[in-house]
Amino acid sequence: MKVSIIGAGYVGLVTGACLARMGNDVLLVESDCGRAEAVRCSKASFYEEGLDELLASVELEADEDCRRIRDSQLIFICVGTPCNHDGEMVLEQVAAAARDISEVLRQRDDYCVVVVKSTVPPGTTEETVIPVLEHSGRKAGRDFGVCMAPEFLREGKAVYDFMNPMRLVIGEYDTRSGNTLLELFRDFKTPVVRSNLRTAEMIKLAANVFLATKISYINEIGNICKKLNIDTYEVARGLAYDDRIGGQFLNAGLGFGGSCLPKDLRALIASARQYGYQPHILEEVQRLNKSQALKPLELLARHIRLNGATVGLLGLAFKPETDDIRDSRAIAITAALLNEGAAVKAYDPMAVENFKKLFPQVAYTTAGDVLESDAVIIVTEWPEFNNLDYGGRIVIDGRRVEKARVARIYEGVCW
Ligand code: UGA
């Protein structure tokens, strides 16, 4: 099929590359010249496992201008929806993409489907996107179709997740819109959930917020376990065999970061409040996640005086296999350590360059040198941290790195 994608960020680029791989004719529209040029050179502007190889193996077109989408059967909106200070998602880029598409619709007389893939608050496609598209003088349902198809890609595993989805969620304006989009995925053997537009928008938020809640839940159990001298990971092992609970996302520790879980949690809280509902559980999930990041300082203070000490951080990325530091626990930990008068040394296999922009005063060094600090905090569970020699050190482990348990003084955050 002929497909256009507005936005060559994380979701747009992975979607474009995978759809091209599946044999579709894909055009990426990206207003940032640097990013558009990177696509033309078959390069991703961020690290994602397998993406560079995939880009090298497909033909992807990129353009800064939207006009070339006029012969696309499907037009995906994959632009960013950052949060403002109140946690509400800023929909400017979504509205701008809809305006650009509307200009093209005005000049078309054939049927196409506009698909919102950006994560947006429930109601956005109906209340913001469709009215803008209809400024073209063309009518949703009659002249063009509309879908909301959220993505469930994990950073670091995005290509795999796209090709092997656990389910497809298709929010549709009408059956014809959904049928047209599903043509793209006709070879996928995966459950398909069809719904209206606002339900699909809610499914995406509810999925991420559930994961966030599950993590804060196990961290709460973990904080209690720590006081009772019980190993949370053994407790989790006993929970995992209950299919109703499931074994994933029960890794207790420093809590969740990244560009999605924290942002979607904030956005759902903001939406709920906007509609006059106070989301008590979600607010508590957020509070707990904030305080969880600072647990290592509490534990460290039992063993050393922070003022004047050098504390080493192992890991800066929000999770392993990525260079992404958005909402990484390392940010709150570094800020708090510096505030306490400690000096900070840090090592991460991929995220140093990004972290340097936030904290130029940190000494970036090797893992071995980090271990020479007065005390070490493990922030991200990079596999290579399981090969270090922790003997004789003081280690606060935020991510359960087994090898670190031999340290002279070893404290797990929740065990
Ligand atoms: C998350 C979801 O898992 C994806 O399904 C979703 O598509 C994506 O957001 C998105 O909305 O785009 P991602 O942010 O890449 O994916 O990362 P996760 O693997 O979910 O991890 C998020 C955070 O939770 C990390 O900081 C991780 O360290 C933490 N985490 C995860 C825990 O603290 N404990 C766990 O047991 C699992």
Among 211, 324, 327, 401, residue to substitute to test ligand 1 (most atoms within 8 Å of Cβ) = 211
pLDDT at 169: 98
My answer on whether 59 and 142 are in the same domain is yes
112 Cα–ligand 1 center, Å = 34
User: How far is the centre of ligand 1, averaged over its atoms, from the C-alpha of 272 (Å)?
Assistant: 22
Residues spanned by the domain of 222: 205-292
Q: Cβ distance 15 to 151 under 8 Å?
A: yes
Domain count, the chain: 3
Query: In sequence order, what are the beta bridge partners of 145?
Result: 113
386 pLDDT exceeds 90?
yes
Q: Are 246 and 190 contained in the same domain?
A: no
Q: Are 126 and 25 in the same domain?
A: yes
Domain-ending residue, one of 245, 267, 292: 292
- Domain with 339 in it: what CATH number? 3.40.50.720
Residue 215 and residue 317: Cα distance in Å, rounded?
Answer: 18
| pLDDT for 281 | 98
If you write DSSP's letter for every residue of 368-390 in order, what string do you get?
A: HHHTTSSEEEE-S--GGGGGS--
Residue keyed to tokens 């044999």:
23
If asked whether residues 159 and 221 sit together in one domain, one would say no
Which whole number is the average pLDDT over 185-199?
Answer: 97
**Rounded CA separation 6/15 (Å):** 11
Buried b (16+ CB within 10 A) or exposed e, 221-232: bbbebbeeeebb
127-158, pLDDT tens digit by residue? 999 999 999 999 999 999 999 999 999 999 99
* Residue whose CA is at the smallest distance from ligand 1 atom 37: 249
User: Residue whose CA is closest, atom 30 of ligand 1?
Assistant: 256
CA 175 – CA 384 distance, rounded (Å): 49
Residue 340 has pLDDT above 90, yes or no: yes
Tell whether 124 and 271 lie within a shared domain: no
Distance 318 CA to ligand 1 centre (A): 9
Residue nearest to atom 16 of ligand 1 (CA): 154
Cα 166 to averaged position of ligand 1 atoms, centre (Å)? 15
User: φ, ψ for residue 147 (rounded to 5)?
Assistant: -130, 160
In this structure, the number of other CB atoms found within 10 A of the CB of residue 392 comes to 10
Q: What is the mean pLDDT of residues 276-283?
A: 98
Q: One-letter amino acid identity for 327?
A: D
What is residue 29's predicted lDDT score, i.e. its pLDDT?
96
Q: How far is CA 196 from CA 97, 179, 260, in A?
A: 21, 13, 23
- Which among 274, 292, 310 is the end of a domain? 292
61 phi and psi angles, rounded to 5 deg: -95, 150
Contact criterion met (CB below 8 Å) for 365 and 323: no
pLDDT at position 168, please?
A: 98
Q: CA 44 → CA 24, 40, 172, 259, distances in Å? A: 19, 10, 31, 18
Domain stops at, among 273, 292, 311: 292
CA–CA distance, 269 with 41 (Å, rounded to integer) = 40
Find the catalytic residue in 18, 112, 225, 260: 260
- The CATH number of whichever domain residue 279 belongs to comes to 1.10.1040.10
Q: Is the pLDDT of residue 87 over 90?
A: no
* Ligand 1 neighbour 233 (Cβ under 6 A): no
- 106 touches 143 (CB < 8 A): no
201 contacts 171 by C-beta, under 8 angstroms: yes
Judge contact between 122 and 202, C-beta under 8 A: yes
113 lies in a domain?
A: yes
Q: Are 117 and 77 in contact (CB under 8 A)?
A: yes
For residue 401, how far is the Cα from the chain centroid? 23
* Residues 324 and 354 sit within 8 Å (Cβ to Cβ): yes
The answer to whether residue 120 scores a pLDDT higher than 90 is: yes
pLDDT reading at 403 higher than 90: yes
Q: How far apart are CA 399 and CA 138, in angstroms?
A: 53
Same domain, 13 and 145: yes
Read off the pLDDT of residues 207-260 as tens digits, 9 standing for 90 and up.
999 999 999 999 999 999 999 999 999 999 999 999 999 999 999 999 999 999
334 burial type by CB count under 10 A (0-12 exposed, 13-18 middle, 19+ buried): buried
Please tell me whether residues 316 and 354 are part of one structural domain: yes
Query: Is position 112 annotated as part of the catalytic site?
Result: no
CA nearest ligand 1 atom 6, residue:
152
In a domain, 200, yes or no: no
pTM above 0.85, yes or no: yes
